[in-house]
Amino acid sequence: MNHEAQPMRFWLGASFCDTSEFVELAVAAERCGFDTFTLSDHLFFADFSTPYPYGRMRWTAETHWPDVWVTIGAMAAVTTRLRFSPNVYIAPARDLITVAKQVSTAAVLSGDRVSFGVGVGWCKEEFVATGQDFHTRGRRLDEMLPRLRELWSGAQVDLPGLPSLSMSPVPAVPIPIYVGGDSEAALRRAARAGDGWIGNRIYTEEQIEAVLADLRRYLKEYGRPEDALEIIAPLAVLPDADTYRRFADKGITGTMAAPWWLSPDEPKVDTMERFAEEVIARM
């Protein structure tokens, strides 16, 4: 993956923030030079029987999970350049038409500043609540992605049991699809159907090199060039411009940052401004 000519882009990872903070953080993120603002997707908290796949669960019943597309609409209204992406949206927990309509509307209202970060999810209870089958979620997402691209283009689409249909409004430019996850199925999905890949954990250098090798292999298998994917990888490094340049040379086009995690007692905006001065401005 040869992305050396591109400077690394910084995505703000705003999961676990209170809903009241998002608009202020979006304004600050744009001012500080962040490329994309991300937020996570969950429907509710419960006594989950599904095992949490990422170690210790860091969220509770009090953690805010506002609706992704409503929140993006609010943040888009107070910004002009900042992009937005869920990290990630559990599309197969919803039906195709609902997903297509929500994302398309958000893209239009934001002036085409929306990317579609998408994954299969892990929480069976959320699928049960929305009436979607948990066990077929990977196959259904594979079927969804090309259909979403068709619907977002405004073309006439034929769907089982429905008359030929089209959707409006639709964005002026294609919505980039970033596939999340680092299982073999997720990496293959990104290589086959994605415009980018988003990591779902914080990676050491050894771990991300293994992922990059897999993505290269799958891209070759599907007949796509090595530079077909944007690579958004949360990295287990201390913030430093030279370190990020080194990772950019490996083919990573963007990383996730939440500067307040290193200084939890400081106001979030203060930590963002320092990160912008010490890292983003020096890239």
C-alpha neighbours within 13 Å on the C-beta side of residue 248:
17
Mean pLDDT of 57-78: 95
Name the residue range of residue 125's domain: 9-282
**Mean of the per-residue pLDDT values for the chain?**
95
Q: Is residue 165 part of a domain?
A: yes
pLDDT for 3 equals: 44
Spell out the alpha helix ranges (H) of the chain.
Answer: 22-32, 68-76, 96-109, 124-130, 137-152, 184-193, 205-221, 241-249, 268-278
Q: Is residue 2 part of a domain?
A: no
**Which DSSP string do the residues of 167-231 spell out, in sequence order?**
-SS--SSPPPEEEE--SHHHHHHHHHH-SEEE-SSPBPHHHHHHHHHHHHHHHHHTT--GGGSEE
Q: Contact, 90 vs 41, CB < 8 A? A: yes
pLDDT tens track for 130-185: 999 999 999 999 999 999 999 999 999 999 999 999 999 999 999 999 999 999 99
Separation in Å, CA 151 to CA 53, 72, 87: 33, 20, 22
Closest CA to 129 of 44, 61, 68, 204: 44
Rounded Cα distance, 24 and 14, in Å: 12
Q: Is residue 204 part of a domain?
A: yes
Q: Is residue 268 part of a domain?
A: yes
Closest CA to 128 of 39, 48, 15, 53: 48
Work out the pLDDT band at 52, boundaries 50, 70, 90: confident
Residue 13 backbone phi and psi in degrees, to 5:
-95, 100
**pTM of the entire predicted model:** 0.95
Q: What angle do CA 33, 244, 269 make, to 5 degrees?
A: 35
Mean pLDDT of 270-275: 98
Instruction: Tell how far CA 124 is from the center of its chain.
Output: 20
Work out the pLDDT band at 1, boundaries 50, 70, 90: low
How many Cβ atoms sit within 10 Å of the Cβ of residue 135?
9
Closest CA to 79 of 22, 40, 127: 22
Decide if pLDDT at 2 tops 50: no
Rounded Cα distance, 206 and 66, in Å: 34
Q: Is residue 117 part of a domain?
A: yes
121's tokens: 């999810």
Q: How many structural domains are present in the chain?
A: 1
pLDDT for 4 equals: 46
Q: Is residue 3 part of a domain?
A: no
Phi-psi domain of 4 (left: phi exceeds 0; alpha: psi -120 through 50; beta: other): alpha
Percent of the chain with pLDDT over 70: 98
pLDDT for 58 equals: 83
pLDDT for 5 equals: 47
pLDDT for 54 equals: 82
Q: Is residue 4 part of a domain?
A: no
Work out the pLDDT band at 53, boundaries 50, 70, 90: confident
Q: What is the CATH number of the domain that holds 210?
A: 3.20.20.30
Q: Is residue 236 part of a domain?
A: yes
Lowest model confidence (mean pLDDT) among 55-64, 104-113, 237-246:
55-64
Work out the pLDDT band at 200, boundaries 50, 70, 90: very high
Task: State the DSSP code for 273.
Answer: H
